């Protein structure tokens, strides 16, 4: 399987975090295509190929969604809920990548079917390590659900 053929969807409103995440991915030699959406509405448009992403090929599903929780317009948990309730995206791997360690967010995230919950560390070196492990796990070790 061509690892590079798998794409990553990064849902992140903070440009700094976006830049740092992309940097961490690069540093881990994860060269897969990364699509970035910057709020919940855009994320849903992307995933359901609607609105601004109407022309996107629905069969091109990201191998992993890195989802921030605190998002403008529609928050991350709501994005997750809609994603899980849609047949085409029901099984899509979702890693919550957030600053929050609130118990409520953890419970809601997992009960909505998040595959993983990562809290972004302040220490960038730790962050790079975490992103590397996410990439290694979801893009290399993990067998994605059948299309």
- Which residues lie near another protein (CB under 8 A)? 14, 16-17, 19-20, 23, 69-70, 98-103, 120-125, 127
Give me the long-range contacts of 49-58 (CB less than 8 A, separation at least 24): 58/88
Q: Judged by CB, which is closer to another protein: 32, or 100?
A: 100
* Contacts (Cβ under 8 Å, ≥6 apart) of 124: 20, 24
The residue to which tokens 């989802």 are assigned: 67
Q: How far is the CB of 118 from another protein (least distance, A)?
A: 13
CA distance 32 to 71: 24
Q: How far is the CB of 122 from another protein (least distance, A)?
A: 3
Alpha carbon of residue 11 to chain centroid: 6
Q: How far is the CB of 114 from another protein (least distance, A)?
A: 17
Residue ranges in 1-119 assigned as alpha helix (H): 15-27, 40-48, 76-85, 103-111
Q: Judged by CB, which is closer to another protein: 12, or 47?
A: 12
Q: Judged by CB, which is closer to another protein: 49, or 106?
A: 106
Q: Judged by CB, which is closer to another protein: 20, or 74?
A: 20
Q: How far is the CB of 82 from another protein (least distance, A)?
A: 22
CA distance 109 to 58: 25
């Amino acid at each position: 399987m061509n690892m590079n053929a798998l794409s990553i969807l990064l849902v992140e409103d903070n440009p700094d975090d976006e830049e740092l995440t992309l940097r961490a991915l690069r540093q881990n030699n994860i060269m897969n295509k990364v699509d970035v959406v910057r709020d919940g509405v855009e994320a849903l448009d992307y995933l359901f190929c609607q609105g601004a992403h109407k022309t996107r090929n629905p069969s091109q599903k990201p191998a992993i969604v890195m989802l921030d929780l605190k998002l403008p317009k529609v928050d991350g948990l709501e994005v997750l809920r809609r994603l899980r309730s849609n047949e085409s995206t029901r099984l899509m791997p979702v890693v919550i990548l957030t600053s929050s360690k609130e118990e409520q967010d953890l419970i809601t995230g997992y009960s909505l079917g998040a595959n993983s919950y990562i809290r972004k560390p302040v220490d960038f070196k730790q962050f790079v390590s975490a992103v590397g492990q996410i990439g290694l796990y979801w893009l290399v070790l993990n067998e994605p659900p059948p299309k």
